[in-house]
Amino acid sequence: MTRFRDRADAGRVLARELARYRGDPQVVVLALPRGGVPVGFELAQALGAPLDVFVVRKLGAPGQRELAVGAIASGGTLVVNEQVVRELGIAKVAVERRAAAEREELARQERTYRDGHPAIDVEGRTIVLVDDGLATGASMRAAVLALRERHPRRIVVAVPVAAREICADLRRVADEVVCASTPEPFLAVGAWYEDFAQTTDDEVRELLATNSRRSTR
């Protein structure tokens, strides 16, 4: 597979995969920050759709921060992996304590990214959830489950590159999954980009503001 030049290039490639949604007034693009926002920006521009962030904070197990026992997402929705919690014997209060700490950081990020603007209402709309790639899919899965509670009409997961088995797994929770490329061996998301520099908070704010200005013209 040819690598993407950068996230903007990946977003344009993804836009071709989703051309059937172009011009649909019910479509909203939600990007997982920070890396998903440059991808989502190009996609939103191509589809003529509004763009917003959907923040997800994973909840790590006590002493095993990389092992997710759940996640908290935009709007404060808490998703818990009950199987992992049972297997590890984690007390409910420990999960709630971790969620409270992450809720503060989530709220800070949303304030930072949106500059005080309200979140886009997603009820009854077709939501395209975007990231720059999927390795484990844990954050994206949590995002889909949390978004369901806001009653969108349809949830489409869209990424430029992902592990094949992760795309298959997400089809169990999303209405549609579009993975532009599923290379084997997968290695890592960054391996498929020539430029995978970290996206900054300032870049996220600017891209959201630019899309908002264009959407209101």
- Which CATH number do you get for residue 45? 3.40.50.2020
Q: Could you report the per-residue pLDDT of 18-48, keeping only the tens digit for each?
A: 999 999 999 999 999 999 999 999 999 999 9
Q: Is the pLDDT assigned to residue 154 strictly greater than 70?
A: yes
Q: In terms of domains, do 38 and 80 share one? A: no
Range of the domain at 63: 58-113
Q: Could you report the per-residue pLDDT of 82-136, keeping only the tens digit for each?
A: 888 888 888 888 888 888 888 888 988 888 898 878 899 999 999 999 999 998 8
Name which residue leads in pLDDT, 191 or 70: 191
Given 113, 132, 155, the domain boundary residue is: 113
In 10 A of CB 93, how many CB atoms?
Answer: 8
pTM of the entire predicted model? 0.90
Count of domains forming the chain: 2
Question: pLDDT at position 151, please?
Answer: 95
Q: In terms of domains, do 80 and 96 share one? A: yes
Q: In terms of domains, do 194 and 135 share one? A: yes
What 3-state DSSP class applies to 92? helix
What 3-state DSSP class applies to 207? helix
Q: In terms of domains, do 66 and 108 share one? A: yes
Cβ contact 90:97 at 8 Å: no
Name which residue leads in pLDDT, 69 or 151: 151
Question: pLDDT at position 216, please?
Answer: 61
